[in-house]
Amino acid sequence: MTDALPVLSPDQMRAWVHANLPLEDFRNRRVLLIIPDNTRTAPLNVLFPAIRSLLRPITAALDVLVALGTHPPMPQERIRGMLGIADSDPCTDVGLFNHAWDNPAELATIGKLTEAQTREISDGVLSMEVPVQINRRILDYDTALILGPVFPHEVVGFSGGNKYFFPGISGPELLNFFHWLGALITNVGIIGIQDTPVRRVVDQAARLIPLERRCLAFVVATDASPYGMFYGTPEQAWRQASELSGRVHIKRQPKPFRQVLSCAPHMYDELWVAGKCMYKLEPVVADGGELIIYAPHMKEISVTHGHNIEKIGYHVRDYFTKQWDRFRDFPWGVLAHSTHVRGTGTFENGIERPRVQVTVASQIPREVCERINLGYRDPAEIDVESFANREHEGILLVRKAGEHLYRLNDGVSTRLP
């Protein structure tokens, strides 16, 4: 289905920007452009120069903030390369900034979600007061313009839109809250669904931001060429983009697979992000099957969170909820990541039974994988091509995993025939 849809060329992208960004939304205003980091497929090297040439002459300021969430900061040269800024261009007219989620001095509290609000939004799953913090730099501007892709997402259903504020440039309390909310609902219960409790949390928090919010959302093919681009409020642009993403990023399968080789692209250089290779494929792995995250380039669990992950390991949701006093003081976002990677399963009478065997084939050593409750394979001993074209045998090869969601046709069980 996706092959039949045309994509925009670079010239068409530039023309779209000039035709569809209303200048009056930005004239004489201080504009902060909020973008993803390099763990997302996006044609920023085309879109940023087009936006810069159009808006910089008419704005009081135009700066860029990388919505890192809790990812490591990007060096200036990598931001410039991602944005298509030439080495010869000093770029003195645009500031390039990283978000710092863990530096209280760079955060501002703009309100809170009350216990009653979180209870209603989450359908009673979690009830607690949560402060809403955001990068304080945003308060120096009149308009925030989100520029980013939309994909099926394990925590909010579909990424993009106001997610670039929360967790993109937010403080830790809110992001820990809603990541754990998503984990309680489970990856398979939330991924690829438009209206979710977590999306409602994100949108509610965004209403507290005291400036104009605009969004240019897009849906891309694997080479970053857009199938479509949408402009409006974050809610409007995201909804249109997520509808298209649901058409082009979800691949339906007639039966489950007993083994999946899920190849992580080089932009996933930590298991923290390479976990997407599990999230997007979990729904089509058969009960008792194996999913292999194949990432021979990957050396780290997580630069930011690795110390906590090594303490808790990777476990199914109920391993944590049934031992809550033991784990409640760990960052809830880390607990969420753990259970999303490990997938669904049970924890009864002290015995954990994950539905899927998750194996990592990377530079992370065997002893570390075993310590964190994941399987290990030597990537040098894996012949990728030996997994190709074997769907009829129950074996699936996904060459660039992490952005397309694989689902079974409605009514198909994950049990093998």
pLDDT in tens, 10-58: 999 999 999 999 999 999 999 999 999 999 999 999 999 999 999 999 9
CA distance 242 to 161: 9
3-state secondary structure (DSSP) of residue 80: helix
Q: Where are the domains of the chain?
A: 2-248, 251-408
The rounded radius of gyration (Å) of the Cα atoms in the chain is 21
**Topology of domain 251-408, per CATH?**
2-enoyl-CoA Hydratase; Chain A, domain 1 (3.90.226)
Range 283-293 average pLDDT: 98
Q: Strands 212-220 and 226-232, how do they pair?
A: antiparallel
pLDDT in tens, 223-241: 999 999 999 999 999 999 9
Would you state the pLDDT for residue 15? 98
Residues 6+ apart with CB under 8 A from 106: 99, 100, 135, 136, 137
**Do the first three CATH levels of 2-248 and 251-408 match, i.e. the same topology?**
no
Residue 266 is encoded by which pair of tokens? 């080089």
pTM: 0.95
Homologous superfamily of 2-248: LarA, N-terminal domain (3.40.50.11440)
The tens digit of pLDDT for each residue in 315-363 reads 999 999 999 999 999 999 999 999 999 999 999 999 999 999 999 999 9
The 3-state DSSP composition of the chain as helix, strand, coil percent (nearest 5) reads 35, 25, 40
User: Torsion-angle region of residue 313: left (phi > 0), alpha (psi -120 to 50) or beta?
Assistant: left
Token pair listed for 32:
């902060």
pLDDT digits (tens, 9 = 90+) for 366-385: 999 999 999 999 999 999 99
- Decide: 142 and 168 in contact? Cβ < 8 Å: no
What pLDDT band is residue 413 in, cutting at 50, 70 and 90? confident
